[in-house]
Structure formats: structure tokens, C-alpha cells
Structure 1
Amino acid sequence: MASNNWIFSFIIVFGFCTFSSYVEGQNSVVELNEDNWTDMLKREWMVEFYAPWCPACKALEGIWKEFAQHSSGLGIKVGKVDVITSPGLSGRFMVTALPTIFHVLNGEFRQYKGSRDRESLMTFIEERKWQQVDPVPGWKSPNSLQMSVVSSFFKLSQNLRDLHNKMTEDFGLPTWGSYLIFAIATILMGALLGLVLVCLLDLIYPPKHTSVQSSVPTKTQKKKDSDDELADEDIRDDLVDDASQSEGEKQTDSESDQDYKTQSPNKMKKRRPRRAD
């Protein structure tokens, strides 16, 4: 009988500990990163962006954990993002100050700018004060295409900085040498990208081929030119003939007028004067 009571007590204690661990796990702060950040699009979330070196973030850490413990009664999930290990998310959300808190619901993102104490955070959810805050515009929404591009640039800049630190610290390369390598790599990549773009444009919009006329005249062209020259000569001859003929006619007319003037006085009769009445 005593053994049965001991087994029953063990089951109760084990079940209570398991349930407590489950509830504590459900009410703990969820670490979000580049891989699981889309989980915040499924439910209502409050997400903090922080950095380990930030004094204000360290001051908010205890309050954020207490807020997460009461999140089950609020029906929300509480998460946090380390901007050092997830630079792409800081670029995706355009985080410019730390700590930064976002409220997320149904794919809408609103930045929380109230007091950073547990009561104010709970009131913000319980009284639905987030409805008074304008959501982030669509073109700046973290799940938009353009912000995905910005996120990629932030991750690229972080990788380049890590590479710079590795070359200067691990390999002992001077700072100017690292900058020189980056400059040469940038020029080469730009030239390669320009070449690729030119090839793509030639494939999409091929250039039009124009036929070049030969400067050496063909037989047909020679014959045509000779015919034109003959025609021009005929026209000039006709014009010369017409001009000479017209001059001859003028000369004949002037001679006939002269003859008439010389002959007319002899042929004309003098009139006798009339006698006065």
C-alpha cells in the first residue's frame, strides 16, 4: 500500500514538473533570427531588437522576461532579435536605435514607442492601444521585396566587415592593404557586371545591320550615267540651236524694219494744202 502511494506521488510530482517546464517554455522569450523570423507573421507578437553591448537593452532585459511570463494571459508571444548575429533583420526592420520594439499582427508591423515597463507593455496589449499606432507603410514592410533587398545588403556589409577583421587580425594585413584589396575587387566586379549587362542588352535588342554601298560603280551604273550625260548634251544642243535661231530671227526683223524705213519716204505722197474758202 505504501509503495502504491509512493508511485502515485511520483507520478503527480513528475507531471507537475513537466507541466511547469512546458508552461515556462511557452512563456519564455523566443530567440528569433534569419531562419525563423517569419514565425512572427502567424500570431500576435511583441519583438525586441537588442544588442549585448547596449546598456538600455540590459536594463530592459529583466522587464522583458517578466512581460514574457505574463504573455500567456495576453494571448501573445514575446520574442527578441540580436542585431549582431542577425544583421539582415536589423536592415529588414530598419532598426536605427536600440532597443526597438515592434508589435506584429496579421502581417502588420507597428513600432512601440511607449514606456518600457511591464505595466505599460501589458496595457498596450490588453487595451489594444496598438490600434492607435499607424502601421509601417507597405513599401517599408519587413516582408516586402524591397526590404528583402535591403536585408541582403546588410548581411553583405556584415560579411565584408568580418572578412576585413579576419585579414587585419588573423593575417596581420595592414588596414590600407585590406582597403586596397576591396577597391580592386569592387572595380573588377563592376567591370564584369557591365560586360554581362552589355551582352544581355545585345541579346534582347540586337543591333540592326545596314548595307554599305560600294564606291566602285557597276556596269549598269556606268551605262545609266553615260545615258544621262548624252541626254544632258542633247538638251544643251537644243538650247544652243534655239538661242541661235532666235538671234537670226531678230536680225532679219531688224533688217526688214530698216528697209521699210528707207523705202517708205519715196513711196509716201505729199498732201497738197487746202485752199481757204
Structure 2
Amino acid sequence: MACAYRIPKFLQFFIIFTIISCSFSRLVSANVELDEDNWKQILDGEWMVEFYAPWCPACNALAPVWRDLSTQAARKSLAMRAAEVDVTKSPGLSGRFVVTALPTIFHVIDGEFRQYKGPRDVDSMLGFVQQKRWQQTEPVPAWKAPHSLQMTLVAEFFKLSQVLRSVHTMLMEQYGLPTWGSYLIFAIGTILIGALLGLLLVCIIDLLYPPRRSDKVLVSAAEARHRDLDGKGVDDEQELINDDIVDDNEKDSDAEKNSASDSSSSEAAPAAGGDVADDKPEVRKRRPRKAD
């Protein structure tokens, strides 16, 4: 009877110990689920990060290996920790890390990012960390690092694309719009937003680089004529006087030529009569100048 009583006690103790051990092991080997809020914790220490999706067959095949990775790392007292990102829940992180295929694995140590492209078994990944084979791989450039400004903007665009996709789905499912109707709404919205951004850009350029003012002043025709006369008054007047004098001389010469015969006959007449005419100086009459 005593033996029958002790065996259940022993089994009960063994079951409790097993449950506690499994729970402790699960806590130690649990992978960290990263999202938009807590992803920056991988910038400190050493990490192996997997990007996956629930609908990806290759990701589902890698899932047990990935769970075992953190367990083996804990048993070997490695400082490396494992984390995973569900791209369907955190699309911004997939854009931030430029994930183009699934699953994608990154090795991160003290803010340096390297993509792991080796075999996807536990021993190979642990050897990559334990033997520091990651030093043979070029890190991601600084401008392309997930925590850089450029990749932050890319992540925001990825978030915006997911929002637009959800709006497109809502317009078709809840409001019953056809596909072309939803596309038409997005096209009109894009044109309006582009026009507003263009107007804003023009205003900013005019503010930073204002247009130069022209030195030319618009005046009336009468004022322009008056300014021309004031500027060259003496020269124009002298030129006009010279023109008048030349015209008078030409007229007098023509008149003398025409009256040559008359003068000769008149000179002959006094000689015949014996009367000598008194010489009178010729008076030149100036032609009146036309008013401007």
C-alpha cells in the first residue's frame, strides 16, 4: 500500500517539474515579435531577424527551425537573440528593410545590418553567429540602413500604400463601386493633390528667389517725344536750321538761273538810254520754319 501511495506522488512531482521546465524553456526560447513600435530594440546587441508572412509556404517550413534557433542559442550561452516580423501586420518594416522576397533573414549587431543568405538550418545560422562569419559579408550602406532618413520616408510610403489599398477595398466591398470607379476617384484625387503641390512649390520658389524688377518705365508717346527733344534739343534745332538754309540757297540759285536772261536785258536797256541804275544790295528772305 505504501508503494502504491508513493508512485502517484512521484508521478505528480515529475509532471509538475516537466511543466515548469517546459514553461521556462518556452520563455527563454520565445522569439521577439517586432512591429512599428518596438523594432528599434534590435539596434542594441546582436540579433537574427526573420521577415515572414502567414501565407508563405517557405516561411511556414522555416518556422520550427526559427523557434529552435533561439533555444539552441540560449543553451550555448550566445548573446544573440531571434526576432521575427509579420509583413502583413507591419508593412512599413518591410519597406524600411527593402524586403523583396520571403522569408528574408537579417543579422544585426550594434546597428549594423547584413542580410543572411546562407543555409537555413540551425547549425549553419548558429555557426554564422558563433564563428563570426558575418564579418565576411558587407554591411548595408549607411544611406540604406533601416534607421536612416531615406528609409524612414520609404517606410511611410509603404504605410500609405496599405492605407490606399484598404480604401480601395472598402469602396468596392462596402459601397459597391466597380474597379474602374475606384481607380477614377484615385486619379482625380492624384491630379488635385499634384496641382496643390505644384502651386505650393511655385510659391516657395518665388519666396526664395523673387523675380527681378524691370528698369523700363512705360511712358506715353507725347512724353517720349518731349524727352527726345530735351535730350537732343540743340542738335535737332541746329539741324533743322541748316536744312532751311540749304533749302533757301538752293531756291535762290534756281531763281538766279531762271532770271539770267532778264538781268542781261535789263542791263542793256539802261546802257542804251544812258541811265545808270543804282546798285542795291540783295535782301535774302528766310523761309519761315515749320512748327514741330
Deviation at 1:234, TM superposition (A): 4.2
Q: Aligned runs of 1:37-48 on 2, under 5 Å?
A: 37-48=39-50
Q: Which amino acid aligns with 1:184?
A: I
Determine if the alignment matches structure 1 residue 173 to structure 2 residue 177.
yes
Change in Cα spacing, 1:242 to 1:71, as seen in structure 2 (3 Å) is: farther
Tell me how far apart the structure 1 counterparts of residues 243 and 63 of structure 2 sit (CA, whole Å). 108
1:136-151, aligned counterparts within 5 Å? 136-151=140-155
Partner of 1:215: 220
Please give the secondary structure, in 2, of the residue aligned with 1:79: strand
CA distance in 2, matches of 1:28, 1:242: 121
- Equivalents in 1 of 2:45, 2:142: separation in Å? 19
1:82 Cα deviation after fit: 0.7
Question: What secondary structure is seen at the aligned counterpart in 1 of 2:191?
Answer: helix
Q: TM-score, normalised by structure 1?
A: 0.75
Partner AA of 1:32 in structure 2: L
In structure 2, runs of 5+ residues without a counterpart are: 1-12, 251-292
Partner of 2:96: 92
Which string of whole-angstrom CA distances, capped at 9 and with x for unpartnered residues, describes residues 132-187 of structure 1? 11111222211111111111111111111111111111221111110000000000
Of 151, 162, 169, which aligns to 2:166?
162
Q: C-alpha distance in 1, partners of 2:175/2:247?
A: 99
Give the superposed CA RMSD.
2.8
Aligned AA (1:215): S
> Equivalents in 1 of 2:35, 2:26: separation in Å?
21
Aligned equivalent of 2:84, options 80, 85, 95: 80
- The yes-or-no answer on 1:63 pairing with 2:40 is no
Map 1:1-277; keep pairs closer than 5 Å: 17=20, 24-72=26-74, 73-210=77-214, 211-218=216-223, 221=227, 223-224=229-230, 226-236=233-243
* Identity across the alignment (%): 53
2:261 maps to none
Aligned residue identity for 1:44: E
In 1, Cα distance between equivalents of 2:198 and 2:24: 56
Residues 61 and 222 of structure 1: CA distance in aligned 2, closer, same or farther (over 3 Å): closer
Structure 2 residue matching 1:80: 3-state secondary structure:
strand
Distance in 2 between residues matched to 1:54 and 1:20, nearest whole Å:
29
Query: Larger deviation: 115-124 or 203-212?
Result: 203-212
Q: Deviations over 1:78-121 (max 9, x none)?
A: 10001111111111111111000000012111010111111111
User: How many corresponding residue pairs?
Assistant: 231
Structure 2 contact 229–236 (Cα < 8 Å) conserved:
no
The structure 1 segments of at least 4 consecutive aligned residues displaced by more than 6 Å after TM superposition are: 237-243
Give the gaps of 5 or more residues in structure 1.
Answer: 1-9, 244-277
- Aligned-partner SS, 2:113: strand
Q: Aligned-pair distance for 1:213?
A: 2.7
How far the C-alpha of 1:55 sits from its partner, in A, is 0.2
